[in-house]
Amino acid sequence: LNRRLAGHGSTIFAEMSALAVKTGAINLGQGFPDTDGPEEVREAAVRALRDGRGNQYPPGPGVPELRAAIAAHQQRFYGLDFDPDSEILVTAGATEAIAASMLALLEPGDEVIAFEPFYDSYAASIAMAGATRVPLTLRAPDFRPDLDRLRDAITPRTRLLLLNSPHNPTGMVLTREEALALAEIAVAHDLLVVTDEVYEHLVFEGEHIPLISLPGMRERTVSISSAGKTFSFTGWKVGWVTACPALVAAVRTAKQYLTFVSAGPFQYAVAEALALPDSYFTGFREDLRGKRDLLAAGLARAGFAVHRPQGTYFITTDVSPLGEKDGVAFCLALPERCGVVAVPNSVFHDDPEAGRTQVRFAFCKRHETLTDAAERLAGLGR
Ligand code: PMP
Ligand code: GLN
What's the full length of the chain, in residues?
A: 382
Lining residues, ligand 2, CB within 6 Å:
11, 13, 30-31, 168
| Index of the ligand 1 atom closest to the CA of residue 234 | 14
Do 264 and 356 fall into the same domain? no
Q: Is residue 381 pLDDT above 80, yes or no?
A: no
Do 324 and 179 fall into the same domain? no
Q: What is the mean pLDDT of the chain?
A: 96
Probe ligand 1: pick from 163, 165, 174, 198, max atoms within 8 Å of CB?
A: 198
Probe ligand 2: pick from 17, 32, 118, max atoms within 8 Å of CB?
A: 32
Number of folded domains that form the chain: 2
- For residue 57, give the CATH number of its domain: 3.40.640.10
Last residue of a domain, one of 252, 274, 296: 274
Query: What is each CA distance from 294 to 36, 61, 366, in whole angstroms?
Result: 20, 41, 11
Name the β-bridge partners of 307: 316
Please check whether residue 262 is in contact with residue 228, taking contact to mean a CB–CB distance below 8 angstroms.
no
Alpha-carbon torsion (273, 278, 279, 282), positive or negative = positive
65-93 pLDDT per residue, tens: 999 999 999 999 999 999 999 999 999 99
Q: What three-state secondary structure class fits 29?
A: coil
Confidence of residue 354 (pLDDT cuts 50, 70, 90): confident
Report the alpha-carbon distance of residue 168 to residue 119 in Å, rounded: 6
Probe ligand 1: pick from 120, 122, 202, 229, max atoms within 8 Å of CB?
A: 229
250-291 pLDDT per residue, tens: 999 999 999 999 999 999 999 999 999 999 999 999 999 999
| Index of the ligand 2 atom closest to the CA of residue 121 | 9
Do 236 and 120 fall into the same domain? yes
- Cα 332 to chain centroid distance, Å, stands at 24
Confidence of residue 382 (pLDDT cuts 50, 70, 90): low
Query: Residue 307: CB partners within 8 Å, gap ≥ 6?
Result: 140, 141, 142, 143, 170, 171, 315, 316, 317, 318
Strands 239-242 and 88-91, sheet pairing:
antiparallel
Do 53 and 149 fall into the same domain? yes
Last residue of a domain, one of 253, 274, 295: 274
Does the interface ipTM go beyond 0.85?
A: yes
Do 262 and 317 fall into the same domain? no
Range of 116's domain?
Answer: 39-274
Do 107 and 175 fall into the same domain? yes
Q: What is the pLDDT of residue 15?
A: 85
Do 85 and 214 fall into the same domain? yes
Alpha-carbon torsion (150, 208, 77, 236), positive or negative = positive
pTM score above 0.95: yes
